[in-house]
Structure 1
């Protein structure tokens, strides 16, 4: 027992010795560390300006934890844990401060001094640092790469320096950072998508730099973000949410989260010149504070969910030249204070719930070029003061509740090219109102009376003239025969009398002529083609009598000619088979070659898809566009029912892309032109047709090419006319792989369904094949996909696009990805797509070798 006790005593003694040695070693180490830290601080002090060194007079000896100003130590053995010399007036650099000697440093606060030069590499050797504040100094150069190693950092503040270069992808390593502020520097390039990995972010300030591009989609992951400041070069951009990942399709962004916060940095928002907040899900009212932005000349808040009245304070924004508030839910009247915006040249307020009258002060806007107030609930008369707008080129007041006469003062607006007043309750006559020479004139669906003014025959550029569904009387003036550019002449549903002037038959460009439901003579001029005796031109009557409904032909004769030309639809003339019909090539006796789609019939003689047949006729008789296939006529007959189109020798885009030889003939410029053609046609259907027309089956099989490789949208069997005042719910339609994802949970059809399909089609054209799984990877921001070079995705059968072609392809890829946003409201409109494709030229190297899909998304 005694021996055991001795052993235990010896063991305890050894433990005590080891503990003492360990304590001594730790003390010695901390002493050594403290001495090294003191030497590093003193070396830095000596490098500072002579005026700065006296401010650190307490820095003497080798123990910085003993009352050195600005130095704090939580525990002696940890050494220096805080360096706080905020607003100390220090002048010098950080070159001679070796941060490697401060492994336990938690805080660096050198805010508001006069430190210059670059950031030393050693700053990255601070594994425990949580607070780094070097704001309002004179630091320059780029962020040292080692700074992104500070993975424990919570607070990162470099505002008010001269830091240049890009914010690198390595920012994604700072997964703990909550405040990241680099305002008022000289940073450039785009915001890296890796910033979405910083999920702890609460406050992000990047304003006052030279950053370009939109917010990357990955920022949708920043669920804790409460403040986002992105003022850039006097321009404030909030990126379209088409580039933002949103988990819930119907989620909206609180307005206060993303709207401007007035802050007190060196350049505050009172200097702002451009404010873009379009195409987000921003809700709530427009704040009165906007009136404080005296230098803003572009204000665009379109395509959001803004509600409430338009604040009168906007009238104080005296520099405004471009104001776009369309496609929201704004209500109440147009403020009379808008009359103060005398520099305004563009005003878009369409598709809201605005009420009241158009203010007479609108006449003060003498520089106004475009005025679009359509699709609202405006009432009262059109003010006579509108005649003061002598520079006006577009006037769109359609689909409101406007009443009274068209003001005679409108004839002063001699620059007007597009006039849309249809869908109102306008009265009076138009004889005195038009000294103008527009190219597009629609006044249909009103209560206009009187005669058609012969003076309209002087509008040499007039392409569309729609006066249908009014109370017009008198004869059709022969002077309309001078309109050599006229494509559409729509005079149906009036009280016109007399005969159709023979001069109308000389209009070689005319493709759409409708005078049905009038009191016209039964005599039809021979120039218009022979039709059945004592009959007016009426599509309904022609269809009921089994005639081919083309105004310039005898329907029965054309029907028989088509039967003969195809030898009663012999298979040798068949050039394609579709879902509900086969397409035949027919050469008529006039040598005109047409495409005839014969509908599959049922045993009882009925058409197997009467609804599709009717939809196609209804859609294609409403529209005329160079990139939409022309419908010449149709026949509904118990034996043969068919539609007759222009023949497009190039065949379908799908067939061409699936052919090695065909794909090689379709070079990059041709592919870009195909995409632009489809975009232009869809823009026309969605924005220039009333009501808008939705195709619902945009796919490569329904794009036909002519011999010049120009695109034409075909197959309107699933098309719908979109009525804004009624339900637009429908059954599922379209081609799988092109249909918008929201159709899986809603049957409501709108323009954004076509936009999504266009995005798929566009990727297919530049890839040479259907994009398949790439779509889901792009919309989910999959890291591996975003790292993929763009060149690896492009059609490998063509050489890599260079120079101008490269710029075209890059713009196209960017737009296509935007169209594929899973949130319908976040996709661009086809009008925006069409405009971007025709104007945008991105700056990039002469090749696409170094561009990744992620960088395309971030553009």
Structure 2
């Protein structure tokens, strides 16, 4: 007993040395979980806490002992409820627990008394429930940041009573109700950020302009409707205005030009129309102006370029007309201008770029004419030059050859002519050079060897002539070389064989000659080879059959001779054409199917391999002809006997199936969703184990090659007996009904097409379009992952995002997939991605629904779904974020390499400890690092632990397009816009005249 008491007395004695504020801090610590042991130096034996981690002290008034004035503990991994003991510190003025995992609700009592608190930052935590109504009772509070939590409900009316509040940030929560007008009565307020909350549709309150001291107003994504009130011009001190991502309509009020202090204005992604107002030259501090993705019309006002500090102007995706005003030449600071996808026309001013440090210009998809100004890169800072899809003419200026900072050049689909300057071919940092669709002439200069960073050389549909220079072999990063439809001559240089990164080589329709290269073992990533319509001679190199991922081979329209190498049978070809050559000998057996019936036309000396007798022009004797007829007769007779035997065997096998499996074809029910060129009987005949191409939780998948040459995929759902189903909340037919209900009415280019379904008793079949490249997961995580270079991975991410966006935003009611993963993203022959497997999909109405079981796959399930079973779009977005991380890292979502972490946590911790370079897939070309990092950021945003922090799928699509804005397809004639939810829907898809689906 005495031995036990002495240590307790010693501990009590040491704690007596610590002052009262230290004891309060220890009390606060006891309520927190500190997994990283970040507060290990909070020692009860210290006399004061002033040297503890995150604790700051100041001398007490009257010369007394120091007192705690600040507790700053951001990003330490702390969890648990808010430590209310901190509010008992009498002189605490600064408190930050940002970027932790503080959870539960925040009762009003927990923040009292905090008598001296002026700065409170609880952002990026896991707090839930209503906002504390007691916060305005803190008499000195001037800074309040509760952003990125899960607070819900309306903003309490008590928030109108803050006596000294200057900064209020509630961004990224679940706040509802209208945007409260009473907040605009806080005369002391300087910064107000309510962005990205699901407020009810509401207009900007008329009283909002009464905040005379306001410097920052962020109301992005607040469901604002109506017009921007003219009273906005009364914000004399406003520096930053963000009204983006709302449904604001009408014109931009001219009073905006009275915001004399404004530095940044963001009005993008609304429904604003009419002209851009004049007078913006009065904004002497304006640096950033973004009114993109609206319906603005009329010309660009001349005086917008007279704003003396303007650096960044975004007006893309509007209906603006007329030329770029000549006043742009008087800009001195303009670095970034994006005007793509408008109806602008006329020539660029002659001195465009001469007087300002232009870094990025994208004026694509307009009708600009005239020549590219010689001074567009006069300041030598231009990095990205995007002028595609216009009417520019004349030659490429010689001065662009001196623009050494250029990294991306896209001039396709213009009317440019003349020779390309020598130095322009050899720009050292360019990784994309796209000149296709012009009238350029001359040869490819040997100076191209200086373009050591070049990854894509796209010069098709021009008038380039002469040979391909041997220097092209110096481009070790070259992944795509497309020079089709030109006048190139001479042989292929042997140096091409050394390009190990090459995945596309398209030189069709030129006048190239000589033998095809044989030393191509380094082309391990080549998936597309098109050398059609040239004058190549000699034989087909057998080495082509050893290229592991080649699936597009077109050598038609040449003068190739000799036999077809049997090694070509090793390839898995989606496109194969050897027509119109001079090939001879037998066609290899695997190419005798109907799928390749048009692959060998125009080769009279080729013959069918089954006869083993190929026609020879030198065998013309009568005896030989008789012998041939005899062998043919024998062959025909043998074939008849063979076919009869096969038919008899098949009939017996069919009878066996009928007797043992109950698959009587006459009793099957077929439901089609498209006009079909096949029957259910053909489908049933293909359900053979040799045709199985996949197995999953819901059934087997078969590849079926039909008599019309078409290939489809057939999913046969597993049978679940009634007994096995007793404890489940879903019927045995649930997966079948879910996919039929979901996919039968969907028409979208990025959703796998359901041709029809077949139903008989307990057997259910779903017939899909066949996706020859299989699933993203299988391809990415196999030894064929090298096939997926960055441009393809980016395309896959964008395609699948557009498919999910369609489900979430354009279907009525919205559809939640609930099992988004790389294995449910299928790839067609061109690596276009389509979302598949809707066996657990759900339509949702208002709010979200609870499920009695967890649907989804390990590593993809959103953290909140695992314990709440709440189903909404945010669950899909988290899963899609994991898919993005797979594309960037090349790693599985769950891997023993991660230990107890999943991919999301591994990426975050590795980036923090070792940097971003250690998470990027080393197989990706370093020239795409900037794009990869931007997509990685999107993936991390999608996998945020807080659902409210995750963007919508529509926002994800927009963010991905901003990574490569030129990838957005050029607008085609659209049907008349349709009203959806009270606003025009801008989403139309190829082959879909209706912007939404009804499920």
1:520 CA drift (Å)? 0.8
- Which of 804, 808, 829 is the matching residue for 1:766? 808
- Which of 264, 271, 280 is the matching residue for 1:218? 271
Q: 1:850 to 1:256 in 2, by over 3 A?
A: closer
- Which of 404, 413, 418 is the matching residue for 1:351? 413
- Which of 524, 536, 539 is the matching residue for 2:587? 524
- Corresponding residue of 1:380: 442
- Corresponding residue of 2:216: 164
- Which of 489, 492, 501 is the matching residue for 1:430? 492
Q: 1:849 to 1:524 in 2, by over 3 A?
A: closer
- Corresponding residue of 1:454: 518
1:324 CA drift (Å)? 1.5
Task: Output the CA distance in 1 between the equivalents of 2:375 and 2:206.
Answer: 46
- Which of 710, 718, 723 is the matching residue for 1:644? 710
Equivalent residues in 2 for 1:808-827 (5 A)? none
Asked whether the 8 Å contact 2:561–2:584 carries over to 1, the reply is: yes
1:360 CA drift (Å)? 1.2
Q: 1:569 to 1:836 in 2, by over 3 A?
A: farther
Greater CA drift, 791-800 or 642-651: 791-800
Asked whether the 8 Å contact 2:712–2:769 carries over to 1, the reply is: no
Q: What are the superposed Cα offsets for residues 313-351 of structure 1, whole Å, 9 maximum, x if unpaired? A: 112141122222222232222221111210111111112
Gaps of 5+ in 2: 1-163, 167-187, 195-202, 313-330, 610-635, 656-662, 694-700, 718-729, 758-764, 773-797, 815-842, 852-869, 884-930, 960-999
1:489 aligns with 2:531: no
Greater CA drift, 495-504 or 427-436: 427-436
Q: 1:149 to 1:660 in 2, by over 3 A?
A: same
Task: Output the CA distance in 2 between the equivalents of 1:558 and 1:511.
Answer: 29
Question: Secondary structure of the equivalent of 1:371?
Answer: strand
Task: Output the CA distance in 2 between the equivalents of 1:566 and 1:231.
Answer: 84
- Which of 924, 932, 946 is the matching residue for 1:846? 946
Greater CA drift, 181-190 or 464-473: 181-190
- Which of 255, 263, 279 is the matching residue for 2:307? 263
Task: Output the CA distance in 1 between the equivalents of 2:443 and 2:465.
Answer: 5
- Corresponding residue of 1:618: none
1:301 aligns with 2:399: no
1:502 CA drift (Å)? 2.5
- Corresponding residue of 2:318: none
- Which of 568, 572, 575 is the matching residue for 1:512? 575
1:661 aligns with 2:661: no
Task: Output the CA distance in 2 between the equivalents of 1:760 and 1:531.
Answer: 35
Equivalent residues in 2 for 1:233-632 (5 A)? 236-240=289-293, 244-245=294-295, 253-257=297-301, 260-264=304-308, 270-288=332-350, 290-292=352-354, 294-434=356-496, 435-437=498-500, 438-505=502-569, 507-526=570-589, 528=591, 537-538=599-600, 570-571=665-666, 576-577=671-672, 578-584=674-680, 585-587=683-685, 591-593=689-691
Asked whether the 8 Å contact 2:191–2:217 carries over to 1, the reply is: yes
1:792 CA drift (Å)? 5.1
Q: 1:262 to 1:476 in 2, by over 3 A?
A: same
1:455 CA drift (Å)? 2.2
Question: Secondary structure of the equivalent of 1:409?
Answer: helix
Q: 1:661 to 1:406 in 2, by over 3 A?
A: same
Task: Output the CA distance in 1 between the equivalents of 2:230 and 2:766.
Answer: 52
- Corresponding residue of 1:781: none
Q: 1:492 to 1:186 in 2, by over 3 A?
A: same
Asked whether the 8 Å contact 1:190–1:211 carries over to 2, the reply is: no
1:405 CA drift (Å)? 1.5
Task: Output the CA distance in 2 between the equivalents of 1:581 and 1:397.
Answer: 40
1:645 CA drift (Å)? 1.0
Question: Secondary structure of the equivalent of 1:461?
Answer: coil
Q: What are the superposed Cα offsets for residues 181-223 of structure 1, whole Å, 9 maximum, x if unpaired? A: 8698443544374753566537557798686866233211x45
1:474 CA drift (Å)? 0.7
Task: Output the CA distance in 2 between the equivalents of 1:497 and 1:472.
Answer: 10
Question: Secondary structure of the equivalent of 2:488?
Answer: strand
- Corresponding residue of 2:131: none
Equivalent residues in 2 for 1:717-728 (5 A)? none
Question: Secondary structure of the equivalent of 1:450?
Answer: strand
Q: What are the superposed Cα offsets for residues 695-739 of structure 1, whole Å, 9 maximum, x if unpaired? A: xxx8965699xxxx99976799xxxxxxxxxxxxxxxxxxxxxxx
Q: What are the superposed Cα offsets for residues 6-55 of structure 1, whole Å, 9 maximum, x if unpaired? A: xxxxxxxxxxxxxxxxxxxxxxxxxxxxxxxxxxxxxxxxxxxxxxxxxx
Asked whether the 8 Å contact 1:760–1:770 carries over to 2, the reply is: no
Q: 1:800 to 1:461 in 2, by over 3 A?
A: same
Question: Secondary structure of the equivalent of 2:524?
Answer: coil
- Corresponding residue of 2:47: none
Q: 1:441 to 1:494 in 2, by over 3 A?
A: same
- Which of 137, 141, 144 is the matching residue for 2:190? 141
Equivalent residues in 2 for 1:753-832 (5 A)? 762=804, 765-766=807-808, 769-770=811-812, 796=849, 799-801=870-872, 805-806=876-877
Task: Output the CA distance in 2 between the equivalents of 1:768 and 1:144.
Answer: 29
Task: Output the CA distance in 2 between the equivalents of 1:180 and 1:703.
Answer: 59
**Bigger Cα Rg:** 1
Q: What are the superposed Cα offsets for residues 479-507 of structure 1, whole Å, 9 maximum, x if unpaired? A: 223312211221111100011122223x2
Q: What are the superposed Cα offsets for residues 717-771 of structure 1, whole Å, 9 maximum, x if unpaired? A: xxxxxxxxxxxxxxxxxxxxxxxxxxxxxxxxxxxxxxx9999975662369546
Greater CA drift, 380-389 or 264-273: 264-273
Question: Secondary structure of the equivalent of 1:313?
Answer: coil
1:304 CA drift (Å)? 2.7
- Corresponding residue of 1:8: none
Q: 1:257 to 1:569 in 2, by over 3 A?
A: farther
- Corresponding residue of 1:34: none
Asked whether the 8 Å contact 1:365–1:389 carries over to 2, the reply is: yes
Q: 1:387 to 1:206 in 2, by over 3 A?
A: farther
Q: What is the count of residue pairs matched by the alignment?
A: 554
Q: 1:152 to 1:519 in 2, by over 3 A?
A: closer
Task: Output the CA distance in 2 between the equivalents of 1:411 and 1:763.
Answer: 42
Q: What are the superposed Cα offsets for residues 414-450 of structure 1, whole Å, 9 maximum, x if unpaired? A: 2111111112121111144514231211111111111
Question: Secondary structure of the equivalent of 2:369?
Answer: strand
Task: Output the CA distance in 1 between the equivalents of 2:246 and 2:263.
Answer: 17
1:465 CA drift (Å)? 1.1
Q: 1:803 to 1:699 in 2, by over 3 A?
A: closer
- Which of 254, 264, 279 is the matching residue for 1:201? 254
1:365 CA drift (Å)? 1.1
Q: 1:226 to 1:496 in 2, by over 3 A?
A: same
1:271 CA drift (Å)? 3.6
Q: 1:353 to 1:712 in 2, by over 3 A?
A: farther
Q: 1:838 to 1:338 in 2, by over 3 A?
A: same
Q: What are the superposed Cα offsets for residues 574-597 of structure 1, whole Å, 9 maximum, x if unpaired? A: 7543324344324459744399xx
Task: Output the CA distance in 1 between the equivalents of 2:494 and 2:240.
Answer: 60
Task: Output the CA distance in 2 between the equivalents of 1:765 and 1:148.
Answer: 30
Task: Output the CA distance in 2 between the equivalents of 1:463 and 1:527.
Answer: 20
Equivalent residues in 2 for 1:687-706 (5 A)? 701=754
Task: Output the CA distance in 2 between the equivalents of 1:298 and 1:141.
Answer: 33
Task: Output the CA distance in 1 between the equivalents of 2:269 and 2:189.
Answer: 26
Q: What are the superposed Cα offsets for residues 547-597 of structure 1, whole Å, 9 maximum, x if unpaired? A: 9xxxxxx999999989979999955567543324344324459744399xx
Question: Secondary structure of the equivalent of 2:424?
Answer: helix
1:478 CA drift (Å)? 2.2
